Amino acid sequence: MESTRKQLIDLLEKEKGYVSGQQLSDSLNISRTAVWKHMNELKKDGYQIEAVRKKGYKILSSPDKISGNTLQWGLETKWLGQKLIHYDQVESTQEIGHQLASQGKPHGTVVIADAQGKGRGRMARNWHSPKGKGIWMSILLRPDLPPM
């Protein structure tokens, strides 16, 4: 579903003007109702989308907030971030990463948060992680190397 939304954004941004619901429906091989539902989800993620009868849809502005969808839409990596988990606020992305590792989540899983309450840096030092002041994330790596 997220890839469909990415394709919708790509089509709308490429045209720079209005794109009809029928054209989007045909391009993505989905129903017009599905296009409408995806547009509503994009609005929830912060996109301002104008819908004009007999003209179609047009992106007026992109979101100024982070969400899992907005982070993955521009991502073109083979493994890093293919599984991406976003939170508004957590105690520590590293703690969540440890939990996910024990649950068997894949190599390259990224845990990202807008803010951390108890972030930790090197040598367990407190890490000040306020909202809007940085990128607070942990990456789960499972390298194909022996531990030594």
Task: Give the structural domain span for 22.
Answer: 2-61
Q: Is residue 82 part of a domain?
A: yes
Last residue of a domain, one of 61, 88, 103: 61
Q: What is the pLDDT of residues 28-54, one digit of tens each?
A: 999 999 999 999 988 888 889 999 999
First vs last C-alpha separation in the chain: 41
Q: Is residue 68 part of a domain?
A: no
- Tokens read off for 39: 């547009």
Check whether 146 has a pLDDT greater than 70.
Answer: yes
Q: What is the pLDDT of residues 121-130, one digit of tens each?
A: 888 888 889 9
Residues 135 and 83 in one domain: yes
Residues 83 and 132 in one domain: yes
- Tokens read off for 87: 């939170």
Residues 86 and 122 in one domain: yes
Q: How far apart are CA 17 and CA 142, in angstroms?
A: 44
Residues 88 and 112 in one domain: yes
Q: How confident is the model at residue 1 (pLDDT cuts 50, 70, 90)?
A: very low
